[in-house]
Amino acid sequence: MDYGGGYSTTSYGAQGGAGGGGFMGGSQGGSQGAAGKGTYGKDTLRPVTIKQVLDAQQPHPDAEFKIDDVEITQVSFVGQIRNISTQTTNITYKLDDGTGTIEVKQWIDADATMDTTSDSAPSKPKLVENEWARVWGRLKAFNNKRHVGAHVIRPVADKMEITYHLLEATFVHLYFVKGPLDQIKAEGGGANGNAGEVGYGGGGDTGMNGGQMPNVSVAARRVYQTLKDSPQNNEGLHVQNVAALVGMNVADVKKAGDELLSHSMIFTTVDDDTWAVLEF
Amino acid sequence: MASEATPRVNAKYLDSFTNQTVRILGKVVSLRGETATIDANGTINVQLNRDAHLQLNNAVEVVGKVQQDLSVKVFQATDFGSNIDFIAVEAVVDATHRYKEIFYDSND
């Protein structure tokens, strides 16, 4: 369940930074530079279906795309290669994952082109039509046509990766639409009989609840929920009490608390380790 | 707009997808020249095309059109090897239809 946390925190920042910053020496820098700067440090790498990429909203040109109302920077997906077209400056792959089809462009690094003909080439796994590939990249719009600028594209060796990816994309989609898994379990447990549709209603509430907590980890959400729900006087709760109630160790609770403090969601009362929920 | 999506289905969903192009991941249980039977939460008869090379007992992913008699006319078949966890595959089919908003456009 801790697994979910990664998508809402900035833990991907470092990785995303590598892609956003050093990527391909500016051949695509034009549109990316301005938009990229604003999101530096909150870069995300999100598993998606191609349909989600095609349905992504762009509030205005040059703005970051949004999926489920959450900005996306890097995305990752799988797809069956329908077509490969080698241009002078890039290789364009047409990928189909069963939910839609999109073009993926990988720019050819002029300095590295020699490698493709040299002896090092055979060691590089081959991308062939009708085989599956995984892509990491950034969604772009050019003349109203969308494509993905690939940082990496590689063949899928184990076909279970496709199944895994689709489930992961579903999980992340539900995370953003309905809120974290543990929250749904706690608050939506009653609606189990009709998990499909009625559960969605319950999810709406938790989604809103989660909406007020942008970019906090699952641990922070749990601590917040505990502070909110536990009986207490106006001094709030001490870290030790919170740790006992949530069943986490003190160090983790402190970390979660720091996160909540930095978002002004809680405040310290009698000392630094006693917190109460900041309510308006 | 005609949807390019090929929804992932199994035997249980065939009757709601007649005349549509779907994607089925199943296990090859018998091969009879032009036709074959695959198991995807129930058996499905498939009509093969010339360049489909199915391997008995291996998993195969077919893209094809569901006929009136609930057989599937194969456009394309990809061998998925012998190491497929069909419980996970079922979960994907379930998710596809439960949360179709990220998988395919439907008319309802």
Q: Using CA atoms, how far apart are residues A23 and B69, in angstroms rounded to an integer?
A: 52
Assess contact for A44 and A78: CB atoms under 8 A: no
Of A98, A164, A169, the CB nearest to B6: A98
For residue B80, the distance in angstroms to the closest alpha carbon of chain A comes to 6
Q: What share of chain A is helix, strand, coil (3-state, %, to 5)?
A: 45, 25, 30
One-letter amino acid of A211: G
- Considering only residues A44 and A36, tell me which one the structure prediction assigns the higher pLDDT: A44
Tell me what pLDDT residue A217 has. 80
Rg, Å, chain B Cα set: 13
pLDDT at residue A176 is higher than 70:
yes
Closest to A90 (Cα-Cα) out of A107, A72, A112: A107
CA dihedral A56→A42→A49→B91, nearest 10 degrees, is -130
Q: Any idea how long chain B is?
A: 108
The chain A residues in contact with chain B (CB within 8 A) are: 48-49, 51-52, 80, 96, 98-101, 130-132, 158-160, 163-164, 166-167, 169-170, 173-174, 196
Looking at every residue in chain B, the average pLDDT score rounds to 93
Determine whether the interchain pair B84/A196 forms a contact, defined as Cβ–Cβ distance below 8 Å.
no
Strand, coil or helix: B58? coil
pLDDT tens-digit map of B39-81: 999 999 999 998 888 999 999 999 999 999 999 999 999 999 9
Strand, coil or helix: A3? helix
Tell me what pLDDT residue B104 has. 95
pLDDT tens-digit map of A238-255: 998 888 888 888 888 898
pLDDT at residue A200 is higher than 80:
no
Region B87-99 average pLDDT: 96
Determine whether the interchain pair A98/B7 forms a contact, defined as Cβ–Cβ distance below 8 Å.
yes
Tell me what pLDDT residue A124 has. 62
Determine whether the interchain pair A173/B102 forms a contact, defined as Cβ–Cβ distance below 8 Å.
yes
Query: How many contacts (CB atoms, under 8 Å) link A and B?
Result: 66
Tell me what pLDDT residue A280 has. 57
Tell me what pLDDT residue A82 has. 96
Tell me what pLDDT residue A248 has. 84
**Chain centroid to CA B97:** 14
pLDDT > 70 fraction of chain B, expressed in percent and rounded? 95
Q: Give the residue on A whose Cα is nearest the Cα of B23.
A: A98
DSSP string, A205-261: HHHHHHHTSTT--HHHHHHHHHHHHS---TT-EEHHHHHHHHT--HHHHHHHHHHHH
Assess contact for A64 and A37: CB atoms under 8 A: no
pLDDT tens-digit map of B79-91: 999 999 999 999 9
Q: What is the ipTM of this complex?
A: 0.94
pLDDT > 70 fraction of chain A, expressed in percent and rounded? 68
Interface mutation target, options B17, B25, B60, B103, chain A, most CBs of A under 10 Å: B103
Determine whether the interchain pair A49/B103 forms a contact, defined as Cβ–Cβ distance below 8 Å.
yes
Which residues of chain A have a CB within 8 Å of the CB of B5?
51, 98-100
pLDDT at residue A210 is higher than 60:
no
Q: Which of A96-100, A202-206, A254-258 has the lowest mean pLDDT?
A: A202-206
Tokens of A213: 């907590």
Closest to A273 (Cα-Cα) out of A240, A245, A225: A240
Looking at every residue in chain A, the average pLDDT score rounds to 76
Residues 6 or more apart whose Cβ sits within 8 Å of residue B61: A159, B23, B24, B25, B77, B78, B80
pLDDT at residue B3 is higher than 60:
no
Closest to A277 (Cα-Cα) out of A262, A258, A261: A261
Closest to B26 (Cα-Cα) out of B70, B75, B61: B61
Of A159, A163, A166, the CB nearest to B81: A159
